[in-house]
């Protein structure tokens, strides 16, 4: 992909960016949920079901708090770190101005998403009177990126970070889309997610095109090094450790006997299987293909376990 073939999304951003076109989302007083039941196996644990709807609702609310906190970390601490480096010409690759301008629009969007999320979380806490339990201060990407970088030569660290962010931006888009369609969720939650999705669809294409351009321009040594680094990233990214840590804290916060809480925690160890059929795997395959990485035989072989 030559620099001449890169098409900016500037016009789309001016017309459709949610920061320019969406109203404030306000929590409504209804019986709908904050979080999808199927995304929290703890909700359907027999002991939790016996404990009653109030406990189940509390679990969904705390899971929602975690999800939104994770989104804020993802957007402000990870995506924007890479996007801003590109926009400010700090990334060790000479992207054309159109890429830098689009990267800056991503920075604006992601900070706005974090602002909306913080405002909505505050509304929910005041509306329910229930504060979040202790939140994780990192997400899977927070661990996966530095651990993957450790497996590539220093001169390719930025490239590894770029691939990791681009992959994650493409997986989160499908996740947000599922939220926005869920009929069990509050209208305002779906609205927040739909607004997010409106921008993330544009971001997904941006990151694919950015990686396609980068990959086509770097030399073979860079492609080989990054291709070999990808399995280390995917291994660390596709884990459930942090989710299980959160669930253990959530279980501990319940007003249940200690031995009951311990039994529930033991039952939840295998609750988040990540297999070849996991939606994230399909999204990663799609990204690797669309960005052109699978045309490179050494990279295709390196990530073969995920194809």
Listing DSSP states for 245-260 in one string gives: HHHHHHHHTSSS-HHH
As a whole number of angstroms, the distance between CA 82 and CA 103 comes to 9
Question: pLDDT confidence of 31, banded at 50, 70, 90?
Answer: confident
Residue 58 lies in a domain: yes
56-74 burial: b if 16+ Cβ within 10 Å, else e: bbbbbbbbbbbbbbbbbbb
As a whole number of angstroms, the distance between CA 228 and CA 151 comes to 8
Question: From residue 94, how far is each of 11, 57, 192 by CA, in Å?
Answer: 23, 50, 35
Residue 6 lies in a domain: no
As a whole number of angstroms, the distance between CA 172 and CA 74 comes to 10
Residue 173 lies in a domain: yes
As a whole number of angstroms, the distance between CA 162 and CA 156 comes to 10
pLDDT given for residue 4 in this prediction: 57
pLDDT given for residue 276 in this prediction: 67
Residue 117 lies in a domain: yes
Total domains present in the chain: 1
Question: pLDDT confidence of 3, banded at 50, 70, 90?
Answer: low
pLDDT given for residue 48 in this prediction: 95
What CATH number is given to the structural domain containing 215? 1.10.620.20
Residue 98, domain extent: 26-306
Residue 206 lies in a domain: yes
As a whole number of angstroms, the distance between CA 113 and CA 58 comes to 25
Total Cβ atoms within 10 A of residue 212: 18
Tell me the pLDDT tens digit for each residue of 223-282: 999 999 999 999 999 988 999 999 999 999 999 999 999 999 999 877 777 766 677 888
Q: Which phi and psi (to 5°) does residue 238 adopt?
A: -90, 65
Whether this prediction's pTM lies above 0.85 is answered by yes
pLDDT given for residue 212 in this prediction: 96
Tell me the pLDDT tens digit for each residue of 290-306: 999 999 999 999 999 88
Residue 267 lies in a domain: yes
Residue 93 lies in a domain: yes
Tell me the pLDDT tens digit for each residue of 125-166: 999 999 999 998 999 999 999 999 999 999 999 999 999 999
**Tokens of residue 4, six digits:** 């001449």
Total Cβ atoms within 10 A of residue 227: 22
pLDDT given for residue 176 in this prediction: 77
Tell me the pLDDT tens digit for each residue of 175-192: 777 777 888 999 999 888
Residue 192 lies in a domain: yes
């Amino acid at each position: 992909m030559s620099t001449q073939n890169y098409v900016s999304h500037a016009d789309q951003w001016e017309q459709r960016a949610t920061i320019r076109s969406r109203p404030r989302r306000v929590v409504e007083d209804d019986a709908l949920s904050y979080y999808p039941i199927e995304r929290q196996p703890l909700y359907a644990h027999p002991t939790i079901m016996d404990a009653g709807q109030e406990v189940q609702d509390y679990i969904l609310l705390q899971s929602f708090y975690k999800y939104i906190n994770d989104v804020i970390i993802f957007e402000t601490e990870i995506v924007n770190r890479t996007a801003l480096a590109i926009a400010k010409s700090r990334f060790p690759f000479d992207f054309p101005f159109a890429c830098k301008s689009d990267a800056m629009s991503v920075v604006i969007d992601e900070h706005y998403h974090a602002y909306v999320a913080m405002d909505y979380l505050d509304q929910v806490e005041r509306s329910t009177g229930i504060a979040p339990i202790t939140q994780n201060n990192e997400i899977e990407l927070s661990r996966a990126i530095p651990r993957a970088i450790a497996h590539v030569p220093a001169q390719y660290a930025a490239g590894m970070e770029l691939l990791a962010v681009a992959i994650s931006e493409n997986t989160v888009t499908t996740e947000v889309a599922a939220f926005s369609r869920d009929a069990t969720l509050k209208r305002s939650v779906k609205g927040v997610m739909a607004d997010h999705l409106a921008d993330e669809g544009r971001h997904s294409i941006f990151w694919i095109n950015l990686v396609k351009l980068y990959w086509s321009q770097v030399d073979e040594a860079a492609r080989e090094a990054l291709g070999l680094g990808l399995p280390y990233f995917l291994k660390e990214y596709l884990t459930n450790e942090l989710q299980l840590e959160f669930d253990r804290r959530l279980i501990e916060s319940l007003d249940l006997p200690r031995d009951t809480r311990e039994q529930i925690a033991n039952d939840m160890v295998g609750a988040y299987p990540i297999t070849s059929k996991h939606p994230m795997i399909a999204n990663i395959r799609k990204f690797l293909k669309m960005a052109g990485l699978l045309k490179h035989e050494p990279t295709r072989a390196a990530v073969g376990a995920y194809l």
